[in-house]
Chain A
């Protein structure tokens, strides 16, 4: 893997503690509501309205930065490739989000684009490492290393496919479900 010299502000690539707490609350309320707790469903509606703007915004932001970091690593110092990957990521995100997307669709599109970048990067790395092993020589990697790397790729691929399914589900149900208003301003093109 090319040496990554990106200087990323500490914490810029992770969700804040506050966001994590909100997500944990949303998850707990969703589980209760799903189990039939009507009060939990009412609270969930209120919480989705009240806090998802901020949570979606922050998650989208981290997702966009993570995608760019991956593009930077994949480019391996080639500025033209790096710029092309940024453009590709932006175009992909915009295309997947579609016209007039809801903030949730923007986040789900962000998730798909960054997972696409991750799976592509891992596939390329793994392919080049398999080739090294076929060719032999001192740079041969151990089978356990290749297995572990394949597991990371497998995990990323599963999430990537699940992300696509999730967006399709949300779109299908959004078309018929009564709307839960989420007012969030998310910059699709990033910057």
Chain B
């Protein structure tokens, strides 16, 4: 099938050469040059070849291309067949691309199950887990001897031993602690932050107050300042007020909302009829009431999408906790994986466990995306069409 497509894809190109060679020849002749000469010669040769094509070959080509809907050598072109032809190409390319997008995730999961194999004497465990893992194609050469999901247990054990200070009642729980921290750092700031952003968006879109445009551009200009250039000053301040020891550095700043979130909700609110709010105003609803009982329910899709997107952003955040959080007790999951990767990433026996930990960190986000994919992509599309 692929061969056929390749063959037919060549046809229109050759046809182009036939028609375009003369004009190209003139242009190149004026310019001259080595490359131009070579091109001209090649063009002439191709032209000669096509002029001297035997009639039976022409007829064959005509019917062959005609079958795909291309009118070559005086053949008739057919729109319907052309569409089928391009559909096949389109589906093939998209499917290849889709496999490229999905396959690494499968590979990741399969590789996380890899383990050492038992030696010839049946007892010795040879340390080839890393080799088994990276040579995985659809399934690892050998899965773990200690149960299929042994590496997942091992990941938790390894992290507990890496961060020994994280204990509860003498029991190490570093891994689950990092999960809890991640949830804290993503749920609290995102919930509060999206609410404050939505309120700002409401003011920007539907209220008319003095200095509105100035405030809007004042906030929007802040996205030009990159995080790496302010993180050191932030760290210095946070550490002097003790926020780096208890995770507040990751929670408090996010609660004030983000201008980009506000911007997208504002775009959505612009499309909402103002008449509803005016009616509410006439009925005596205050601004707060308008916001909580009209704007939030009506802008729910946009708010929901922004909530999920910010949640994912916080869940995947790496640089900020890397800089701000100094205590193992308060490190999130991304740092846990970074820690495992630097400690055991090249370790021949423990490498699959690092992969298992990454799968664990990835899974909640993928599940969340699977549930809310329509809202998320719809929100991104909205941004795209508005820009």
Pair from one complex: no
